[in-house]
């Protein structure tokens, strides 16, 4: 058997402690599968004395993760601290410069600095692996980078923030409003310290940007993601969508549009009977579409100690076996800067508006939509006792800018109360 | 860029021709991802002149696949002929002996000779890859071998024969009997030349045996798979199952049972609302459960030119990148012979029997079940105009041998007409 693979693990939160536990308890199994022993040389965290449910005293200790990253007796630097800059980035750069491979779960760091780090890794002849950064335990980076490497990817999409999906499915199941469930999620510890990372869609958008880079051979372009969180999703829209056979999901979609790349992370409607529509609670799902393979759906736990540690271990095992794949599936120097094509791909839309009960009101709405280039597929007007009534419209395929033009024009008709709602219906 | 990876492809049916097409049409993309060009050196098939939709004249030709496997200008032998013995096995052995890596889609060959071939590969310092042998385009071998390598696998299951799932879902949707749909599947070209490979569950059992080997570190044990096809599944049972919230699937399950390994490929009931229950038509699904990751579900096309070629390409690309993983995820010399533990894991069962309309009939049935160690969870007796009535029983968890004992005893009560049906209800 070959020499051990020696790890330096920085960050001993839930995931870091989970990784140490697995390595210490399954030495034989991991060695058999990797062809060599996997060993923890040293660790680093903010507090040395905290009880983490596993004995850390047999490992070396570094207060400074950068010092850990540079240790001569470390082959792989495992970065589980998080944060897009600061210690995580400094230590990752130090590790690469010192000739270490890097395994990280840090989606924010890679979404912002992925290209620079991938270049640094290549210059140093090292690899960066990040299975745990996207969709927790689901081996989606591996599926996209390796398992579907013979495909031109046509679209990749996913529900990749468990907290958002938990809130949305509970809203529908319990009939509770967003604010109540947001508070509940906070109490249950489901929210990041900065909750807009979750409910604002930022965390999921980080993941989408990483998938898009691999899928389309482009530089990670987080700023190119069209971003909208779930804060504005109402119980009313969830119910109306359900009535029409849809569910509202915070769905990330990346696809080519002509020569451009469209990346969206927005609440949208999907058929309730589709795998994405049926996804309940905190579970994650990623759908990959390739020109050869058709549609592949991957589903599993998107967070938590075990699933995330499983993904980290997968990367460690690959490195132990000698796999040397490029960070984003091909040399970083060959990745191209994507041309942003926001909402260029047409889709049907769900529109909801409150209409005054006046003769000709519907006709005015229809005229505005037609003038904007949006045609109506089906419409529902609900019974009402007040002087206004909710109207739901499902459009034929329309460009987002046509829908935006209609949204701007509708209030000017004098028959639409408040702000109309428009949600994309994604064909899944 | 490194030297090209040179392929010899034996078998130019749908999949073989598909692989050649992708390689000839996507040279640039594949080279970027693999870090080196992928080239076809020579091919072999039964007929040289057949039109396969792609120009084969630029490649070398061998009438004998063994000669192809031994060519000095071939690095990887791609075996797409099929058949558990004969040319496929001879050429595979010749390729390994000549120091070539092997990529194959041949589940039958590996199910029967996987251990010997894996040993031969190791002795030669070569790899055998077979992503295309299981579940078509779904990268399930990769997920299990690499993506979840940090897990102890607790159970792996799957719907892995599209034809069977097509027949079963059509039976339910159209209310047509098995025989009609079997004939239809034949006319549509969905059946193997020997249809018992499909409807007898053999093809799916081949796949299950391969997954079990990887999951549990055991030698492939196809003969240890408890096997039952879908030929005996009736429309009546499909309807009764649906009434009670279940669907009948030809589901393969491999799991540890004490120190033994249980492998089953039998029709069984799964909740209609579960991902497996919702799987329609020819699509495949594999569910992997690990101690760390929980449940991961993979879904996609299980057959066809594009999906299967996609899987073959995935293996070729891995070899091009230098990945050298063992055939079944760890050295073949370390795989243990599994202790067969057939149907050792208890489960609830669905029982259907035709009961004579006599006083005390139900009591007799209940007594027999109780005496056999099978307790009743719920029961339905249907209205009837004849002198007998169908009775459905869902049992609490019971051992298969207890159920078998009850099945043997029931006809002796004198109140049960014909042969009772028993189908396992798998918790998914």
B:257-276 residues touching chain A, CB 8 A cutoff: 273, 275
B:175-234 residues touching chain A, CB 8 A cutoff: 217
Chain segment B22-32, per-residue pLDDT in tens: 999 999 999 99
Chain segment B82-139, per-residue pLDDT in tens: 999 999 999 999 999 999 999 999 999 999 999 999 999 999 999 999 999 999 999 9
Residue B1 confidence (pLDDT): 57
**Does residue B384 register a pLDDT over 80?**
no
**A397 part of contact set with chain B, CB < 8 Å:** no
Chain segment A64-95, per-residue pLDDT in tens: 999 999 999 999 999 999 999 999 999 999 99
Q: How confident is the model at residue A1 (pLDDT cuts 50, 70, 90)?
A: low
Contact: B310, A26; criterion CB under 8 Å: no
**B384 part of contact set with chain A, CB < 8 Å:** no
**A314 part of contact set with chain B, CB < 8 Å:** yes
**Does residue A337 register a pLDDT over 60?**
yes
- Distance in Å, alpha carbon of B205 to nearest chain A alpha carbon: 22
Residues of A in contact with B151 (CB under 8 A): 310, 313
Q: For an interface test with A, give the residue of B292, B309, B333 to mutate (most A CBs within 10 A).
A: B292
C-alpha span between A144 and A423 (Å, rounded): 28
User: What CA–CA distances, in Å, run from A267 to A248, A321, A426, B9, B306?
Assistant: 6, 40, 10, 47, 32
Residue B387 confidence (pLDDT): 83
In this predicted complex, what is the ipTM? 0.96
Contact: A291, B307; criterion CB under 8 Å: no
Q: Is A14 labeled as ligand-binding? A: yes
Residues of B in contact with A301 (CB under 8 A): 293-295
Residue B357 confidence (pLDDT): 86
Q: What is the mean pLDDT of residues B252-261?
A: 93
> At the top level of CATH, which class does the domain B148-301 belong to?
alpha beta
* Percent of chain A at pLDDT exceeding 90: 92
SS3 A119: helix
Chain segment B327-377, per-residue pLDDT in tens: 999 999 999 999 999 777 899 999 999 999 888 999 999 999 999 999 999
Residue B193 confidence (pLDDT): 87
Lowest mean pLDDT among A203-217, A242-256, A339-353, B264-278: A339-353
Chain segment A31-41, per-residue pLDDT in tens: 999 999 999 99
Residues of A in contact with B309 (CB under 8 A): 150, 292
Contact: B150, A314; criterion CB under 8 Å: yes
Chain segment A223-233, per-residue pLDDT in tens: 999 999 999 99
Which residues of B are annotated binding-site positions? 10-17, 107, 192
Question: Per residue, what are the HEC states of chain B?
Answer: CCCCEEEEEECCCHHHHHHHHHHHHCHHHHHHHHCCCEEEEEEECCCCCCCCCCCCCCCEECCCHHHHHHCCCCCEEEECCCCCCCHHHHHHHHHHHCCCEEEECCHHHHHHHHHHHHHHHHHHCCCEECHHHCCCCCCHHHHHHHHCCCCCEEEEEEECCHHHHHHHHHHHHHCCCHHHHHHHHHHCCCCCCCCHHHHCCHHHHHHHHHHHHHHHCECCCHHHCEECCCCCCCHHHHHHHHHCCEEEEEEEEEEEECCEEEEEEEEEEEECCCCCCCCCCCEEEEEEEECCCEEEEEEEECCCHHHHHHHHHHHHHHHHHCCCCCCCCCCHHHCECCCECCCCCCECEEEEEEEECCCCHHHHHHHHHHHHCCCEEEEEECCCCCCEEEEEEEECCECHHHHHHHHHHHHHHCCEEEEEEEEEECCC
The domain A147-295 is classified under which CATH number: 2.40.30.20, 3.30.360.10, 3.40.50.300, 3.40.50.2300? 3.30.360.10
Mean of per-residue pLDDT scores for chain B: 95
Chain segment B197-206, per-residue pLDDT in tens: 999 999 999 9
The closest CB to that of A300, out of B131, B295, B306, belongs to B295
Q: What is the mean pLDDT of residues B177-199?
A: 93
* Percent of chain A at pLDDT exceeding 70: 100
The closest CB to that of B301, out of A147, A293, A314, belongs to A293
* CATH code for the domain defined by A349-424: 3.30.70.260
A5-104 is classed CATH 3.40.50.720: yes
Is the fold of B5-104 the same as that of B148-301?
no
B:22-61 residues touching chain A, CB 8 A cutoff: 22, 26, 29-30, 32-35
Contact: B314, A146; criterion CB under 8 Å: yes
Residue B396 confidence (pLDDT): 97
- Distance in Å, alpha carbon of A355 to nearest chain B alpha carbon: 38
Q: What is the mean pLDDT of residues A284-301?
A: 98
Q: What is the mean pLDDT of residues A122-132?
A: 98
C-alpha span between A37 and A21 (Å, rounded): 15
**Does residue B385 register a pLDDT over 80?**
no
Mean of per-residue pLDDT scores for chain A: 95
* Residues of A labelled as active-site residues: 207
Chain segment A162-197, per-residue pLDDT in tens: 999 999 999 999 999 999 999 999 999 889 889 999
Contact: A29, B152; criterion CB under 8 Å: yes
Structural domain boundaries in chain B: 5-104, 148-301, 349-424
- Distance in Å, alpha carbon of B316 to nearest chain A alpha carbon: 9
């Amino acid at each position: 058997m070959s020499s051990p693979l020696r790890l330096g693990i920085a960050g001993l939160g839930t995931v870091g402690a989970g990784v140490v536990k697995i390595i210490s308890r399954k030495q034989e199994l991991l060695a058999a599968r990797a062809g060599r022993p996997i060993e923890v040389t040293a660790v680093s965290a903010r507090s040395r004395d905290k009880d983490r449910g596993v004995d850390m005293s047999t490992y070396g200790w570094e207060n400074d993760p950068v010092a850990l990253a540079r240790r001569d007796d470390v082959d792989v630097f495992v970065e589980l601290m998080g944060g897009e800059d600061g210690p995580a980035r400094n230590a990752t750069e130090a590790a690469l410069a010192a000739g270490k491979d890097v395994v990280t779960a840090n989606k924010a760091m890679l979404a912002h600095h992925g290209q620079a780090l991938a270049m640094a890794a290549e210059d140093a002849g090292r690899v960066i692996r990040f299975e745990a950064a996207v969709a927790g335990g689901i081996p989606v980076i591996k599926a996209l980078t390796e398992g579907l490497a013979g495909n031109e990817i046509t679209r990749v999409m996913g529900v990749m923030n468990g907290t958002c999906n938990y809130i949305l499915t509970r809203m529908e199941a319990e009939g509770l409003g967003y604010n109540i469930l947001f508070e509940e999620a906070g109490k249950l510890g489901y929210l990041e310290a900065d909750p807009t990372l979750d409910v604002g869609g930022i965390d999921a958008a980080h993941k989408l940007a990483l998938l898009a880079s691999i899928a389309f051979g482009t530089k990670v372009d987080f700023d190119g993601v069209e971003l909208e969180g779930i804060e504005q999703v109402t119980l009313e829209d969830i119910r109306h969508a359900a009535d029409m056979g849809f569910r509202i999901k915070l769905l990330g979609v990346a696809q080519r549009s002509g020569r451009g790349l469209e990346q969206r992370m927005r609440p949208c409607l999907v058929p309730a009977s589709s795998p994405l529509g049926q996804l309940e609670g905190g579970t994650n799902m990623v759908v990959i579409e390739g020109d050869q393979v058709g549609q592949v759906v991957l589903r599993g736990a998107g967070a938590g100690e075990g699933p995330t540690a499983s993904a980290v271990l997968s990367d460690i095992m690959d490195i132990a076996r000698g796999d040397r794949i490029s960070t984003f599936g091909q040399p970083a120097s060959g990745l191209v800067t994507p041309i942003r094509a926001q909402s260029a791909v047409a889709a049907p839309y769900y529109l909801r508006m409150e209409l005054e009960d006046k003769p000709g009101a519907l006709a005015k709405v229809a005229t505005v939509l037609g003038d904007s280039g949006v045609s109506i597929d089906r419409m529902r007007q609900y019974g009402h006792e007040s002087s206004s009534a909710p109207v739901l419209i499902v459009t034929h395929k329309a460009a987002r800018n046509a829908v935006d033009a209609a949204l701007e024009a509708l209030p000017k008709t004098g028959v639409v109360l408040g702000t109309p709602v428009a949600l994309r219906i994604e064909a899944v």
